[in-house]
Amino acid sequence: MRTCARIRNGVPAILCLALSLTGVPTWTRLTPTGVELRADLRDPPFWRGPLLALRDALGNRSLVFYRCYRAVAQFFGASAARAADVVAVDADAPADAAVASNAGADPAITLVARLAAELVHAANAAGAPVILLTIPEPIYVGGGDPVYAQVVAAFGALVAGTTNQLVVADPLLLAAETRGEATFLAGDGHLSPAGHRVVAAALAAAVLRCDGAS
């Protein structure tokens, strides 16, 4: 997850959230009281830190290692998500109302939608409108990822009828690609400088809309 905020009088005036599906289903679980971090992440074993440091060192030096690691992590992450504990939602609860229509969906989608809903509710309670941003995987910038599409739909339902906004970067990035701009780093899932400029312009426009509505 990535966040950025405009601060006014010491409190967030606008909150921007960028959520990633990677890892979220295996980091957290839904409970009757909200979203909980996995127990072993709250109190990690002593070897986790050195192991992650080794993973990062290898991943930063070898694209082959990075791609193999991502493939294995995504495979086991999907398995864990299918087996995850997901409780029934209460459509009358603020965070659950946004994901009630998502009941029976993939647990990863339900979990991400629930997490976003709780963050949005908390920010709105503090008086800050929220801008949600979605960025596709490079190979799906033209569409074709059903899981991502469902997340975008869930986020759209979450902001509908509110002062919150959803910025879907797909068409903007695709338009830049058709102009010959490489919006993602080669062999990587992260935005290039050109891609960051495209997304920054879209976020700037969304922030101005928030300012105009306030």
**Residue 24 pLDDT > 60:** no
> Which residue would you say has higher pLDDT here, 133 or 24?
133
Q: Which of 25, 37, 29, 153 is nearest to 98 (CA)?
A: 153
Beta bridge partners of 15: 5, 130
CB-based burial, 149-164: b 16+ in 10 Å, e otherwise: bbbbebbebbbeeeeb
**Residue 121 pLDDT > 80:** yes
Mean pLDDT lowest for which of 52-66, 88-102, 172-186?
88-102
pLDDT confidence tier of residue 161, bands split at 50, 70 and 90:
very high
Question: Is the Cβ–Cβ distance between 111 and 102 less than 8 Å?
Answer: no
**Cα–Cα distance for residue pair 1/208, rounded to 1 Å:** 23
Question: Is the Cβ–Cβ distance between 165 and 209 less than 8 Å?
Answer: yes
Three-class DSSP category at 132:
strand
> Which residue would you say has higher pLDDT here, 85 or 60?
60
Mean pLDDT lowest for which of 25-34, 54-63, 95-104, 174-183?
95-104
Looking at residue 68, its pLDDT comes to: 79
Mean pLDDT lowest for which of 88-92, 147-151, 189-193, 194-198?
88-92
Mean pLDDT lowest for which of 28-42, 63-77, 96-110, 159-173?
96-110
**174: containing domain:** 2-213
Query: Quick one: tokens of 197?
Result: 């400029």
Q: Calculate the average pLDDT of the chain.
A: 75
pLDDT confidence tier of residue 173, bands split at 50, 70 and 90:
very high
Which residue carries 């127990």 as its tokens? 39
Looking at residue 46, its pLDDT comes to: 84
- Cβ of 196: how many Cβ atoms within 10 Å? 12
**Residue 166 pLDDT > 90:** yes
**Stretch (H or E) spanning 55:** helix 48-59
**Residue 35 pLDDT > 50:** yes
DSSP 29: E
Number of domains in the chain: 1
> Which residue would you say has higher pLDDT here, 93 or 145?
145
Looking at residue 74, its pLDDT comes to: 62
Looking at residue 103, its pLDDT comes to: 47
Mean pLDDT lowest for which of 47-51, 69-73, 93-97?
93-97
> Which residue would you say has higher pLDDT here, 54 or 198?
198
Looking at residue 93, its pLDDT comes to: 47
The one-letter amino acid at 71: A
